[in-house]
Chains A and B, each alone.
Chain A
Amino acid sequence: MTEKFPGYKGEALRALKEAGAGIGDKIRVMKDEEIYQGVLIPRSEFGDDRHLVLKLNTGYNVGILVTKDTKIERIGVGAKPAFSTPPLPKQKENLPRVAILSTGGTIASRVDYRTGGVRPALTANDLYSVVPELSEIAFLDARILFSVFSENITVEHWSEAAKSIAKFVKNGVAGVVVAHGTDTMGYTAAALSFALQNLPVPVILVGSQRSADRPSSDAATNLIGAVKAAASAPFAEVAIAMHETVSDDSIIFHRGVKARKCHTSRRDAFKSINVPPLARLKDGKIRMLTRDYQKRDSEKEVIVEPRFNEEVTLIKFHPGMGPVIDWHVENGYKGIILEGTGLGHVSNRYFSAIRKAITKKIIVGITSQCIWGRVNMNVYDTGRDLLEIGVIPLKDMLPETALVKMMWVLGQTKDFTEARKLLSKNIANEFSERTVFGD
């Protein structure tokens, strides 16, 4: 595979080079009795090495097997994509200023129907032209923070994002929107919730479950909702903005530490776990769904604590589990979150490993793999034993949030006792004292 011929290799690449034909060129392929004429387009990296892909006049792509008898002729130079943006809506200076930071998820994009390529829209101008409604809501400042798939996000990215957001907040924006891939958006939201405290304005993470190139994408609606919340929502917390249902008529705001991606593909994949969501946008209005929230207040000054420690792991206990705890202890990990069964249990086979870890001043906390509900270590012997060993019960905190919190805690202090205390302290409403009945 070469840069000039993306996706092409082997026999197909050799034939193309021989014909002097490149991507975007008009070519004619003769084979058996058929003549195919069209534009040579890139091949998927996972395609085999024997087919060419042509885009015909009709717009269809076809794959042609290259054989000994295949003749390829270059009949025209490929036209370069002509980028032109439609007239932009006027930026309105009097609207609230909102910063949009992109991390790599494609929140908006354009399609090149000539080559079939999809091109992300990242700058403020791009966003305005693709989602013109934004110009009626806020005066945007768009920045590219980094360009990574969300599964490739690390703690360094969290730190960097926290610092950039803080800078915008200190400069007095009405709110910040972070465009993020949905896979790890819950983790990032939790990380920012701990790293950015005493926020005067909201920080809204937003993603989409259907790619932005399609007319049915949820990206634009989610983005509009996010910008609206950043510009004018009454809360000043880190939240996730996504579809509330499979319909396009309401956007729901989940508290960053309480949200989890619960579906692989649905638009309403994110759910608030163990608490009602923060707020809802419907019919153009944002309504709070809880009384217990941090209010927007420009007098407040953001506190940034952007350090995280990666020497932390999340272990999901399961029947027949191997010596995973020992391995982490031996390899110098400083914190372990257990995702136990039911009310917060692991098999007594691992008691000695856990005891060893705690003796070595490794912090061990426990959550439940049930996802919904809170742990309670007093009901069964196993729970009482784990408490006695020194495992910290983490109430109704999500396992993923607990993991992020442990990373953050160990970024703040190296002291065993202080870290244990900090882990149990409610920092960003990651614990709720009451579990209210919900659907």
Chain B
Amino acid sequence: MVAADYEKLGLKVGLEVHQQLNTKTKLFCDCRTELFKERPEITFLRRLRPTQSELGQIDPVALFEFQKGVKILYDGNKETSCLVEMDEEPPHDLNREALETALIISLMLGANPLDEIHVMRKTVIDGSNTTGFQRTCCVAFNGGIDIKEKVVPIQHIGLEEDAARKMGAEGDTLRYRIDRLCIPLVEVATSPVIYTPKEAEEVALAIGRILRATGRVKRGLGTIRQDLNISITDGALVEIKGVQELELVSLVVENEVQRQLNLLKIKEELAKRGAKKDEIKDEFVDVTSVFRKTKCKIIHSAVEEGKHVLAVRLPRFGGLLKKELMPNVRLGTEMADRAGHWGRVGGIFHTDELPAYGITVEEIKTLMQTMNAKQDDTVVLAADIFENVVDALKAVNGRAMEALKGIPNETRAAKPDGSTRYSRPRPGATRMYPETDVPPTEIPRPYVERLNKYLPELPEQKMQRFIRDYGLNEKLSKQVLNSEFTQLFEETIERSNISPTIVAVTLTETLKALNRESVEVKNVSDKQFLELFHLVGLGHVVKEAIPDIIAWLSRHKNVKTIEAIEALSLSMLSQKELENIVDSLIEENRKLLLENEKRAFGVIMGLTMKKVRGKAEAGVVSEIVNRRLTLFKKKS
């Protein structure tokens, strides 16, 4: 893909960073801010009913979900949830530790804290909140983040509760885990004045550094999430939620720009072909009979189960559904996402991609005939129970009509590969009303001034200190600050007698390399890292063994680092053990050594290292080999 001229395109990006705080308790109750992996101890079923606004309007998405009879099963355990998360008890007071952290972050970003904090209820009806709303509050306004080239304004810093974790969906039942619900999140939102993908990533990294500089945030996958608002001049404002890695930010922006440009091209092409809105009709034809003897497994088993195959004709869309919008996403993919969302069908087929999946040329021919489809039309079909297919094809038609107009306003969800998928229409004006169960909290000026006086060191200062005090080079120092391990790094240096450079390299480059080798580095806890560095510092294990130990720890939960060292037999050999190994090697190679005295050191050193790698420092081995060889020569 050719790099786009973002200035010319009028790219505007706004960024919202959500970071979980590492508080002792949750935002509105005293449960621990942890997730659980075991079987749930509590399960309950709920339905969320869209509340009418005073204007008598109901959020159409919410209404649709409700009318479909969506049920939600919530799972929890007693350690991480209480009646508050179950929406069986009113919230307790706003967590002061979380509020203080949010205030510290605000002040570090140069924002002005509010005089009085009012907790609001933001209506969210997808099941991610047991109450049907998310509790959220504004903490400060108007800060800024310096990214060298410019200062990007920070519009707002908020404090809110995290949502429940979606664990899956089956039919009309969604499943959520409430352990994550109510963990404090700080939200930092910039103005939409970011103009390139690279700049977006720099801003995200800079905000991340500030958040971590407080030393009060969580680390690990899912503890920081970015939302992006992206628009280009002729395009639309699209909201992308849940980018989990800072490194993905620029890619997500690039992909979205490409997607919008390609959708604009499709719009032009459709206009050229003379495609019209009223040609797209909700006329669905039952084509089950076409596929009675099909070799397509999916359709075959659907027909066997008595389900229906329905099809719709998209006039003049021929070939456009297979047009790639961004890597792995075609217009057809977008239609399939919609169909899955509104009709709960597993997928759709369209003639642009056929013959394939066992559907034959003959079947397509019959299908096109049945549908009265012309050369430049596309036929889309899906197989499921009647009602679902109708909803699915209606959604396909809806998406097709939007293609005539260009780019739909929608909320998309980020995927781990940097692409995105449809998640829902953009919600209307935010629906908020006061959380009357939590009294407003006054923020007295003197308290703010005290916090301001004792702010944590800013990332730039920290970087200089790392270079000055720990002897890190600039690159390494920066890497540590951009990683989520800044705090762990400092803690290690404080507690262990180990070279800061070794720690820094391990926590950045080594982990990155291990990650690339699919080692689940995130499974290794802070405690295990601390033990590891301590043991290296004590000389109990050599630094070369670090990657192996981390890899082993990632595969074994709830163990001490020393167990890894034992299991891998990586303990350092004692002087005596080394001498014995060297002596026996000398004895075994006696003849060779006597014949060729010049090569003696190289041979014994090589053989010894082969045997003791990871269990002895090369310098120590070399000294012993020298000493024992001299002794051997004397004796002989």
Interface, chain A (partner B; CB < 8 A): 32-34, 44, 46-48, 51, 53, 56, 58-65, 81-86, 110-114, 116-119, 129-130, 209-210, 213-217, 220-221, 245-249, 264-267
Known: A32-B112, A51-B116, A216-B132. A61 touches B56 (CB 8 A): no
Q: Is the CB of B51 within 8 A of A63?
A: no
Which listed residue (A47, A63, A84, A245) contacts B114, Cβ 8 A? A63
**Contacts of A265 on B, CB cut-off 8 Å?**
83, 88-90
Which listed residue (A34, A113, A247, A264) contacts B431, Cβ 8 A? A113
Q: Name which residue of chain A comes closest to B46, CB basis.
A: A248
Shortest B635–chain A CB gap in Å is 84
For chain B, residues 171 to 213, give those with C-beta under 8 angstroms from any C-beta of chain A.
none
Q: Is the CB of A61 within 8 A of B434?
A: yes
Query: Could you list 12 further interchain pairs (A-B, Cβ under 8 angstroms) beyond the known A63-B118, A210-B87, A216-B48?
Result: A46-B439, A56-B138, A59-B120, A61-B432, A83-B56, A86-B52, A110-B52, A111-B51, A113-B431, A216-B46, A265-B88, A267-B88
Q: Is the CB of A62 within 8 A of B112?
A: no
Q: Name which residue of chain B comes closest to A246, CB basis.
A: B44
In whole angstroms, how far apart are the Cα atoms of A129 and B62 in the complex? 16
Contact string, B380-414, partner A, CB cutoff 8 A, digits 1/0? Answer: 00000000000000000000000000000000000
**Contacts of A130 on B, CB cut-off 8 Å?**
52
Q: Name which residue of chain A comes closest to B72, CB basis.
A: A248
In whole angstroms, how far apart are the Cα atoms of A266 and B133 in the complex? 18
Which listed residue (B49, B89, B133) contacts A220, Cβ 8 A? B49
Which listed residue (A60, A84, A209) contacts B137, Cβ 8 A? A60
Interface, chain B (partner A; CB < 8 A): 44-58, 62, 83, 86-90, 112, 114-118, 120-123, 125, 130-133, 136-138, 141-142, 156, 158, 429-434, 436, 439-440, 442
**Contacts of B442 on A, CB cut-off 8 Å?**
48, 51, 63
Shortest A182–chain B CB gap in Å is 14
In whole angstroms, how far apart are the Cα atoms of A32 and B141 in the complex? 13
Q: Is the CB of A110 within 8 A of B429?
A: no
Shortest B300–chain A CB gap in Å is 34
In whole angstroms, how far apart are the Cα atoms of A193 and B548 in the complex? 76
Q: Is the CB of A248 within 8 A of B118?
A: no
Q: Name which residue of chain A comes closest to B131, CB basis.
A: A216
Q: Is the CB of A112 within 8 A of B133?
A: no
Known: A59-B122, A215-B133, A248-B46. A118 touches B433 (CB 8 A): yes
In whole angstroms, how far apart are the Cα atoms of A259 and B58 in the complex? 36
**Contacts of B158 on A, CB cut-off 8 Å?**
60
**Contacts of B439 on A, CB cut-off 8 Å?**
44, 46
**Contacts of B87 on A, CB cut-off 8 Å?**
210, 216
Q: Name which residue of chain B comes closest to A84, CB basis.
A: B56
Q: Is the CB of A62 within 8 A of B45?
A: no
Shortest A386–chain B CB gap in Å is 39
In whole angstroms, how far apart are the Cα atoms of A157 and B517 in the complex? 75
Q: Name which residue of chain B comes closest to A64, CB basis.
A: B115
Q: Please indicate which of the listed interface residues B87, B138, B430 has the most CB atoms of chain A within 10 Å of its own CB.
A: B87
In whole angstroms, how far apart are the Cα atoms of A214 and B49 in the complex? 8
In whole angstroms, how far apart are the Cα atoms of A216 and B90 in the complex? 13
**Which 5 interchain pairs have the tightest Cβ spacing?**
A63-B116, A215-B132, A112-B54, A59-B432, A65-B115
Q: Is the CB of A245 within 8 A of B120?
A: no
**Contacts of B89 on A, CB cut-off 8 Å?**
264-266
**Contacts of B122 on A, CB cut-off 8 Å?**
59
Q: Name which residue of chain B comes closest to A110, CB basis.
A: B52
Shortest A104–chain B CB gap in Å is 18
**Contacts of B132 on A, CB cut-off 8 Å?**
214-216
Q: Name which residue of chain A comes closest to B73, CB basis.
A: A247
Q: Please indicate which of the listed interface residues A33, A53, A65, A215 has the most CB atoms of chain B within 10 Å of its own CB.
A: A215
In whole angstroms, how far apart are the Cα atoms of A213 and B49 in the complex? 10
Which listed residue (B47, B52, B114) contacts A111, Cβ 8 A? B52
Known: A112-B54, A245-B44, A246-B86. A217 touches B49 (CB 8 A): yes
Q: Is the CB of A83 within 8 A of B54?
A: yes
In whole angstroms, how far apart are the Cα atoms of A245 and B44 in the complex? 9
Q: Name which residue of chain A comes closest to B66, CB basis.
A: A215
What are 19 of the A-B contact pairs (CB < 8 Å)? A32-B112, A33-B112, A34-B141, A51-B442, A53-B116, A53-B440, A56-B138, A59-B429, A60-B118, A62-B115, A110-B56, A111-B431, A119-B54, A215-B123, A215-B131, A215-B133, A216-B132, A246-B86, A266-B89
Q: Name which residue of chain A comes closest to B138, CB basis.
A: A60
Q: Is the CB of A213 within 8 A of B88?
A: no
**Contacts of B118 on A, CB cut-off 8 Å?**
53, 60-63
**Contacts of A119 on B, CB cut-off 8 Å?**
54
Q: Is the CB of B120 within 8 A of A85?
A: no
In whole angstroms, how far apart are the Cα atoms of A248 and B116 in the complex? 37
**Contacts of A264 on B, CB cut-off 8 Å?**
89
Shortest A283–chain B CB gap in Å is 12
Q: Is the CB of A247 within 8 A of B45?
A: yes
**Contacts of B55 on A, CB cut-off 8 Å?**
82-84
Q: Is the CB of B54 within 8 A of A58?
A: no
Known: A63-B115, A64-B116, A215-B125. A110 touches B51 (CB 8 A): yes
**Contacts of B431 on A, CB cut-off 8 Å?**
59, 111, 113
Q: Is the CB of B112 within 8 A of A213?
A: no
Shortest B425–chain A CB gap in Å is 18
Q: Is the CB of B50 within 8 A of A215?
A: yes
Which listed residue (A34, A44, A51, A116) contacts B433, Cβ 8 A? A116
Known: A59-B120, A61-B120, A63-B115. A113 touches B54 (CB 8 A): yes
Q: Is the CB of B49 within 8 A of A63?
A: no
Shortest A209–chain B CB gap in Å is 8
Shortest A303–chain B CB gap in Å is 39
In whole angstroms, how far apart are the Cα atoms of A264 and B88 in the complex? 9
Q: Name which residue of chain B comes closest to A86, CB basis.
A: B56
In whole angstroms, how far apart are the Cα atoms of A60 and B131 in the complex? 18
Q: Is the CB of B49 within 8 A of A266?
A: no
Q: Is the CB of A117 within 8 A of B54?
A: yes
**Contacts of A118 on B, CB cut-off 8 Å?**
433
**Contacts of A51 on B, CB cut-off 8 Å?**
115-116, 440, 442
In whole angstroms, how far apart are the Cα atoms of A437 and B116 in the complex? 54
Q: Is the CB of B116 within 8 A of A65?
A: yes
Q: Is the CB of A216 within 8 A of B130?
A: yes
In whole angstroms, how far apart are the Cα atoms of A59 and B131 in the complex? 19
Shortest A137–chain B CB gap in Å is 16
Shortest B5–chain A CB gap in Å is 33
In whole angstroms, how far apart are the Cα atoms of A215 and B62 in the complex? 10
Q: Name which residue of chain B comes closest to A121, CB basis.
A: B52
**Contacts of A214 on B, CB cut-off 8 Å?**
51, 121, 131-133
Q: Name which residue of chain A comes closest to B53, CB basis.
A: A113
Q: Please indicate which of the listed interface residues B120, B136, B440 has the most CB atoms of chain A within 10 Å of its own CB.
A: B440
**Contacts of A266 on B, CB cut-off 8 Å?**
83, 88-89
In whole angstroms, how far apart are the Cα atoms of A215 and B123 in the complex? 8
In whole angstroms, how far apart are the Cα atoms of A198 and B48 in the complex? 39
**Contacts of A210 on B, CB cut-off 8 Å?**
87
Known: A51-B116, A111-B54, A119-B54. A62 touches B138 (CB 8 A): yes
**Contacts of B62 on A, CB cut-off 8 Å?**
215
**Contacts of B115 on A, CB cut-off 8 Å?**
51, 62-65
**Contacts of B136 on A, CB cut-off 8 Å?**
60
**Contacts of B54 on A, CB cut-off 8 Å?**
81-83, 110-114, 117, 119
Shortest B52–chain A CB gap in Å is 5
Shortest A126–chain B CB gap in Å is 10
Q: Is the CB of A110 within 8 A of B434?
A: no
Q: Is the CB of B56 within 8 A of A213?
A: no
Shortest A266–chain B CB gap in Å is 5
Q: Is the CB of A60 within 8 A of B88?
A: no
Q: Is the CB of B123 within 8 A of A60?
A: no
**Contacts of B138 on A, CB cut-off 8 Å?**
56, 58, 60, 62
**Contacts of A32 on B, CB cut-off 8 Å?**
112
**Contacts of B142 on A, CB cut-off 8 Å?**
34
In whole angstroms, how far apart are the Cα atoms of A217 and B156 in the complex? 31
Q: Name which residue of chain A comes closest to B141, CB basis.
A: A34
In whole angstroms, how far apart are the Cα atoms of A111 and B53 in the complex? 5
Q: Is the CB of A62 within 8 A of B125?
A: no
